[in-house]
Structure 1
Amino acid sequence: MFEIPVVDERIASIAPGFRAISIHIDATNAETGSVDTNLLAEACNFVSAGGAPWADAHLASWSETYFRFGAKPNRTPCSAQALRKRVEKDGKVPTINPVVDLYNAVSLRYALPVGGENYDAYVGRPRLTIAAGTEVFETVVNGEAIKECPAPGEAIWRDDAGVTCRRWNWRQCSRTRLDALTGRMWFLLESLETMPENALEEAGDMLTDGLSRLMPGCGILKQKLSITPPP
């Protein structure tokens, strides 16, 4: 059973037009499949050719949102902007593994942050909220495991054990990192009002189609998220 992610109503003051697609995958009994190995390269070429017509406006909206909770998007951009910058600089992004390559391809093609995590490592319900500044974030710096805290007022994803992603979607914690195509997984596609809603739906379809091909027989739970009061 999957806990439905919750978006804190206080996020409305930062990003009133926030909406997302949450995709839970149960690959416990899935078979091993494959996905088009050209997807990531094709997405990079798409960005190099100009990308989606809403891309610049949507990524600019994310930068404005980061400013609203005190982050500096030029230093710590949202994940979609970071990927795009790598393509603009190098013409490509490195291959990591099939599932990461897949969601990076979706992120680049649709100019929106996409993340994938090991849901079995979660403790309690995932939630997007405002940091008090005392939460624990587990990460790795220069090969060394460390723990740090977010800034008070920072937008974070967290569970009952601590921060799972700092600065909204800038950096995932090491605890919930997705490194195997087994068990239960959670994927999240996040958008703001400057991205067409039908494009968000298309991005979700591209990801679920790829995951189905990569893990034939997996269970899929797809849900829309928006700003709602916490339970």
Structure 2
Amino acid sequence: MAPGGDGELPRLHPLVDLCNAVSLAYAIPVAVLDLTRIDGDLAVRPATGAEEYVTLAGDVERPEPGEVVFADGAGRAHSRRWTHRQSGWSAVRDTTGTVLIVAEALHDSAGRDVLALLDTLIAELAAGWQVERRGAVLTAAAPAVDVPG
């Protein structure tokens, strides 16, 4: 909510604004990461406590051991507490050209709800941008995806 309680989300970047709106509409967390700021593979895993997490304000933190992070090959945590705290290191900027959008859910109807969210997001992306779009759903049976970069 914007300061002042007017019920509107703050404007950050057109893509981030879209993902925030879709996240709220489906009550499913969505993260948008600048792929050029990720070194090597990105793994969703428990933190060791050695990872570097850069806040949106630019401060450096270390995730608690065991906290779920999105970590890259350089030991950076691009997200903490699953996608609830995105890193300023890989935040979308005006110069961002390639992104990874992540939606996550574990509730009973998550499989169906995430697919509906993806359908909405892909339709909105197609309406607003002429970009190449790819989608994948990770599961226990299919825990990885190759993201061209």
Structure 1 residues 182, 140: closer, same or farther in 2, change over 3 A? closer
Q: Which residue of 2 aligns with 1:212?
A: 126
Q: How does 1:17-166 map to 2 (within 5 A)?
A: 86=1, 90-141=6-57, 145-161=58-74, 162-166=76-80
Q: Which has the higher helix share?
A: 1
Q: Are 2:114 and 1:200 equivalent residues in the alignment?
A: yes
Structure 1 residues 93, 121: closer, same or farther in 2, change over 3 A? same
Q: Which residue of 2 aligns with 1:169?
A: 83
2: CA distance, partners of 1:181 / 1:208: 21
Q: Which residue of 2 aligns with 1:188?
A: 102
Structure 2: unaligned runs, 5 residues or longer: 145-149
Q: CA deviation at 1:197?
A: 2.7
Q: Over the residues paired in the alignment, what is the CA RMSD in angstroms? A: 2.2
Query: Which structure has the larger Rg?
Result: 1
2: CA distance, partners of 1:169 / 1:154: 11
2: CA distance, partners of 1:140 / 1:191: 23
Cα distance per residue 1:174-216 (max 9 Å; x no partner): 1111113752111011111333532221110111111222221
Q: Which residue of 2 aligns with 1:223?
A: 136
Q: Which amino acid aligns with 2:104?
A: E
Greater RCO (Cα-Cα under 8 Å, separation 6 or more)? 1
Structure 1 residues 182, 176: closer, same or farther in 2, change over 3 A? closer
Contact 2:52 2:60 in 1 (8 A): yes
Structure 1 residues 197, 140: closer, same or farther in 2, change over 3 A? closer
Contact 2:13 2:92 in 1 (8 A): no
Contact 2:13 2:94 in 1 (8 A): no
Q: How does 1:8-19 map to 2 (within 5 A)?
A: none
Cα distance per residue 1:110-164 (max 9 Å; x no partner): 01001111111111111110011111112244xxx33221001111111112100
2: CA distance, partners of 1:97 / 1:183: 13
1: CA distance, partners of 2:34 / 2:50: 24
Q: Which residue of 2 aligns with 1:69?
A: none
The normalised TM-score by structure 1 is: 0.55
2: CA distance, partners of 1:196 / 1:156: 20
Aligned residues: 140
